[in-house]
Amino acid sequence: MTAAPLQDTRFRLSEEQARELAQAYGTPLYVVDEGHFRQRIQQYYEGFRAASPKGELSFASKANSTVALLKIAYQEGCSIDVASEGELRAALMAGVPASACHLHGNNKQESEIQFAVEQGIGMIVLDNFEEIELFGRMKALVEEKGVKLVIRLAPGVDPVTHAKISTGQADTKFGFNIVDGSGEKALKRTMELGLPTIGFHCHVGSQLLDPEAQISGGELIAKFAADMKANHGFETTYLNVGGGLGVMYTEKDVPMSHAEYCKAIVAAVTKALEGTGLDPKLAQEPGRSLIAESGVTLYRVGVVKTVPAKERGTRTYVCVDGGLSDNPRPALYGSKYTVELVSPSRSADASPVTVSGKHCETDKLFEDIQLPSDVQAGDLIQVLCTGAYNSSMASNYNRYQRPATALIRKDGSFSLVQRRDTWEEMLAREIVPEGLV
């Protein structure tokens, strides 16, 4: 299935905004536009509810767990998908009730599960047989707190995406495999234990520009639900088909519209459930597709140097004041981004450059991109579509401070929603034993 061309809806800073933000909060700086983020959620919900009136969106907080953004997502009607106790605590800090949160994880610690249940979390996604037995021992508390359970399935779908963000194939650490019978065995065990299981979940991967894998995943878990009713009398009331819709990192990335994507998935699930008498609530867990295009990263250029390069003569490096620690995705996944000069250009000519970071690594952030040929130290550049998996994956590698995050409010004003690390915080964990010579 081919997506229709879309307009470029990515948020961008104006030159004036970039200059004011850099002066107020320094660089590198993550910036998110509140109105853009709210609109993305509203558009997704509109498309989903048009296809499935009971449809539920759960914001995948792993994409960006900045507390202010979790609060916005909840205000716009999303439940919050968390994959750790830390992400759950962030949601609680945002004022999201635990009952509106879903806990994931392939190796949840017993202490994490205990904390989530005690808080009254709304849903926990079962991932392995050990968890099922643990919940059997915790049954009384689970029922007292009203926690619901969903079984994660591996449908055996291999999506077109980077291998490191592909999760629905048979060979995966996540969930219970359908083909080898593990999924059915898991359901039978939860029924034997009398656990409050309501349905099934799958997630086939991320940054999906071709929706066929996600459509197949939804169809397969719907067929599984139908089989479980026929074989065991289990009435599925909830089906979660995960997230994964891609975004426009560069102009070569052409994702489907939210409406087209939701319509295609819901149609596949609905067809698979025809004649079964099942009418479950359908849920999705978008993260990247809601927040990525709402954010940019602002850098200031430092050193610009041209060096000899094999097979091309020379290469020009434009070095910025961030790098691997604030955006590890190029190193991890070979990710590509759109990079734009926001300082006034002194030349209409563009030339290929490599934007590199300042870390003690190769740290090629954005290789062979076009920037004005006279880019120089002090210029500001913005990287589009960094609202997802930049702040949440940032580190202190080389003892660099993680960037601040600024929110552009709907009235155009700026608010700091996550400040830059301090040196004291960075070193607060260190302990030098007495007598160490």
The predicted model gives 241-265 an average pLDDT of 92
pLDDT of residue 164: 41
Band of pLDDT at residue 168, cut at 50, 70 and 90: very low
Given a cut of 50, is residue 166 above it in pLDDT? no
pLDDT of residue 267: 96
Range of 116-120, 216-220, 260-264, 306-310 with top mean pLDDT: 116-120
pLDDT of residue 196: 98
- Annotated catalytic residues are 360
Instruction: Select from 3.30.70.100, 3.20.20.80, 2.40.50.1070, 2.40.37.10 the CATH code of 293-424.
Output: 2.40.37.10
Band of pLDDT at residue 161, cut at 50, 70 and 90: very low
pLDDT of residue 158: 56
Share of the chain above pLDDT 90, in %: 84
255 is written with which tokens? 């994702």
pLDDT of residue 302: 97
The predicted model gives 421-435 an average pLDDT of 95
* Contacts of residue 34, Cβ cutoff 8 Å, sequence gap at least 6: 72, 407, 408, 409, 410
Q: Which CATH architecture has domain 104-286?
A: Alpha-Beta Barrel (3.20)
The predicted model gives 138-164 an average pLDDT of 81
pLDDT of residue 1: 42
Tell me where in the chain the CATH 2.40.37.10 domain(s) lie: 293-424
Number of neighbouring beta carbons within 10 Å of residue 248: 20
Tell me where in the chain the CATH 3.20.20.10 domain(s) lie: 104-286
The model's pLDDT over 19-58, given as tens digits with 9 standing for 90+, comes to: 999 999 999 999 999 999 999 999 999 999 999 999 999 9
Band of pLDDT at residue 172, cut at 50, 70 and 90: confident
The predicted model gives 236-265 an average pLDDT of 93
pLDDT of residue 232: 98
309 or 70, which is more confident:
70
Given a cut of 80, is residue 252 above it in pLDDT? yes
Band of pLDDT at residue 211, cut at 50, 70 and 90: confident
The model's pLDDT over 125-137, given as tens digits with 9 standing for 90+, comes to: 999 999 999 999 9
- Per-residue three-class SS string for the chain: CCCCCCCCCCCCCCHHHHHHHHHHHCCCEEEEEHHHHHHHHHHHHHHHHHHCCCCEEEEEHHHCCCHHHHHHHHHCCCEEEECCHHHHHHHHHCCCCHHHEEECCCCCCHHHHHHHHHHCCCEEEECCHHHHHHHHHCHHHHHHHCCEEEEEEECCCCCCCCHHHECCCCCCCCCEECCCCHHHHHHHHHHHHCCCEEEEECCCECCECCCHHHHHHHHHHHHHHHHHHHHHCCCCCEEECCCCECCCCCCCCCCCCHHHHHHHHHHHHHHHHCCCCCCCEEEECCCHHHHHHHEEEEEEEEEEEEEEECCCEEEEEEEECCCCCCCCHHHHHCCCCCEEECCCCCCCCEEEEEEECCCCCCCEEEEEEEEECCCCCCCEEEEECCCCCCHHHCCCHHHCCCCEEEEECCCCCEEEEECCCCHHHHHCCCCCCCCCC
Given a cut of 90, is residue 157 above it in pLDDT? no
pLDDT of residue 170: 57
Q: Average pLDDT over the chain, rounded to whole?
A: 93
The predicted model gives 277-288 an average pLDDT of 96
Residues 153 and 242: beta-carbon distance below 8 Å:
no
The model's pLDDT over 90-109, given as tens digits with 9 standing for 90+, comes to: 999 999 999 999 999 999 99
The predicted model gives 365-386 an average pLDDT of 95
The model's pLDDT over 284-333, given as tens digits with 9 standing for 90+, comes to: 999 999 999 999 999 999 999 999 998 888 999 999 999 999 999 999 98
82 or 207, which is more confident:
82
Among 116-120, 261-265, 348-352, 387-391, the least confident range: 348-352
pLDDT of residue 63: 97
